[in-house]
Amino acid sequence: MARPRKQTYTLDMYLKKNKKGDIDNNADVQRNFAWNNEQINELIVTVLTDDYIPPIILGEEADSKLRIVDGGCRTAALRKFREGNYKITSSIENSLIPYKKKVVGRNGKTVYEDGLFDIKNKTYAKLPEELKEKFDEYQIETVIHECCDSGRISGYIKRYNNHVAMNTDQRAFTYIDRYAGRIRQISESRFFLECSNYSERDKTKGGIERIIVETLMCMNHFENWKKQPKALCQYLNDNAKEEEFALLTQHLQRLEKIITADIKDIFNKKDSFLFLTLFDKFSGLGMEDIRFVEFLRTFQKNLRAVRRNRKGLLFDEIGRGLSTKDRPVIADKLEMLEGLMLEYLHIGGSDKSAGLKAQQTRTVTPKEILAEYEDEEVTDEDIELYEIIANDISEAIEDIDSGLLSDENRPSFVALVGYAVREDTEGLLKKWLPGFEKKRPPIRSQKQNYLYMKKAFEQFAAQ
């Protein structure tokens, strides 16, 4: 059997042949047109920007008639725009199309200037002549299988269309290209493989990536929560910081060490982002991680059946009849979980409760941080020196109201200065701080903050 031959047409010629029936789009087993407006819009932008469209596959019958094997929806979409008065919808992204605009100069000669045309709500007829020409002259590639009959064409249609289209989660993920690799890396962590309850479908159909996106959004940008996966990804692509991914990675690594089989069902596709956000809140209490697991175990066995919501609802009754991704529903669930967790952590009588509360609110000192992570023999005299050097180094930050220089963040900042002094890198620290200050994560536990800043500074110093 001969190899398929290639044939390139101008788009205008290809569509005319399709209209006349020379290139037929009605093979018996061909599916009906199934594209939405977003897909049509993107295809038209591809043509107008002279980007790549995969070849259309044709089958040639004995009478030289060509039938479309793969590319029927592309063909129908292009005809809708070229001949069917299709209007580009206002939801289109990247609607400004660059083109060379013909203008007549003072000397009467035609010159070309750079122009931009917004194609929102425009039909083909509303395009400038230059863009109409660009559309019509676009080079459409085809691959033609020769010597076909209806049976062979049906076989080719089956072969070329034997794929699964992107689902909502997978398509949304294409809108977070800046951090897609980072999210993929997190999705392969042991937490998602062994310490949670996700189906194989969740793992292969984009479910894990969506959980990570929802968690990052809920932990760091809840005031701007978006209900739709695409909107979540777009927001994080523009507003997320690398430190947020690093912090989530640290949380997952800690959870991997403590989650047991009896409670891993809590971390499912529906609720994972809630309990991961709850762990983020727990991390600010400065308590042993095992206490969080003890709470989850108690919640699973008993507290899930307690009506402690403001409306007298059980946890699983909140938002019933509404979308579980509605912001008010999420806020109510997190409020209930946090209240139950804090109450559980204070159990044991008023004295113990007061002691735990004091432990949570007491400010850790730079000496305690350095003694735990660097040198058990650090002295008060050492700390006094680090305080003085910290005052000098802090002048590198122009914003005097910076959270990095706040009283709340002072212990970890002074401890980091102490670490730099011991490593003889305080000069580098002063150079590093301004850049770090602009992208630092929210302040949580001072011990966690110290470890995070130390790791980031070490990476800078190693460059």
Q: What is the per-residue pLDDT across 133-158, written as a single tens digit (0 to 9) for each?
A: 999 999 999 999 998 888 888 888 87
Res. 27: pLDDT tops 70: no
Rounded Cα gap, residues 212 and 214, in angstroms: 5
Of 67-81, 229-243, 396-410, the least confident: 396-410
In this structure, of 23-27, 31-35, 337-341, the range with the lowest mean pLDDT score is: 31-35
Average pLDDT over residues 293-306: 88
Indicate the DSSP class of residue 51. -
pLDDT in the model for residue 406? 78
Which amino acid belongs to residue 143?
V
Segment 233-250 mean pLDDT = 92
CA-CA distances (angstroms) from residue 63 to 18, 69, 222? 16, 17, 63
Residue range 49-56: average pLDDT? 94
Predicted local confidence at residue 347, as pLDDT: 42
Q: How many angstroms separate the CA atoms of 105 and 111, rounded?
A: 6
| Number of residues in the chain | 463
Q: Over the chain, what is the mean pLDDT? A: 85
pLDDT digits (tens, 9 = 90+) for 166-209: 778 888 888 898 999 999 999 989 999 888 888 777 777 888 99
Arithmetic mean of pLDDT, 250-260:
93
Quote the CA–CA distance of 291 and 284 in Å, as a whole number.
13
- Specify the DSSP class assigned to residue 303: G
Can you tell me the distance from the alpha carbon of 197 to that of 175, in angstroms, rounded to the nearest whole number?
A: 26
CA distance 413 to 420: 11
Closest CA to 418 of 448, 457, 363: 457
pLDDT at 1: 55
Average pLDDT (414-428) is 91
* Tens-place pLDDT, residues 259-269: 999 998 999 88
Res 426: pLDDT: 87
Split at pLDDT 50, 70, 90, the class of 356 is very low
Instruction: Phi first, then psi: give them for residue 311, nearest 5 degrees.
Output: -100, 10
Residues 6+ apart with CB under 8 A from 91: 37, 38, 41
pLDDT band at 349 (very low <50, low <70, confident <90, very high): very low
- Residue 444's pLDDT band (cuts 50, 70, 90): low
What secondary structure does DSSP assign to 374-440, as a single string?
T-TT--HHHHHHHHHHHHHHGGG---TT-GGGSTTTHHHHHHHHHHHHHHT-HHHHHHHHHHHHTTP
Q: Which residues contact 128 (CB under 8 A, 6 or more apart)?
A: 99, 101, 115, 117
Dihedral sign for Cα atoms in the order 23, 25, 26, 27: positive
Residue 359's pLDDT is 40
Q: What is the mean pLDDT of residues 52-58?
A: 94
- Determine the Cα angle at 183 with ends 179 and 184, to 5°: 115
- Output the pLDDT for position 223: 86
- Dihedral (CA of 18, 23, 28, 34) sign: negative
pLDDT band at 2 (very low <50, low <70, confident <90, very high): low
Give the CA distances from residue 123 to residues 85, 94, 100, 146, 453, in Å, rounded to whole numbers and listed in that order: 6, 16, 19, 36, 54
Q: 82, 62, 80: which is closest to 10 by C-alpha?
A: 82
- For residues 150 and 28, the answer to whether their CB atoms sit within 8 Å is yes
pLDDT of residue 53 exceeding 90: yes
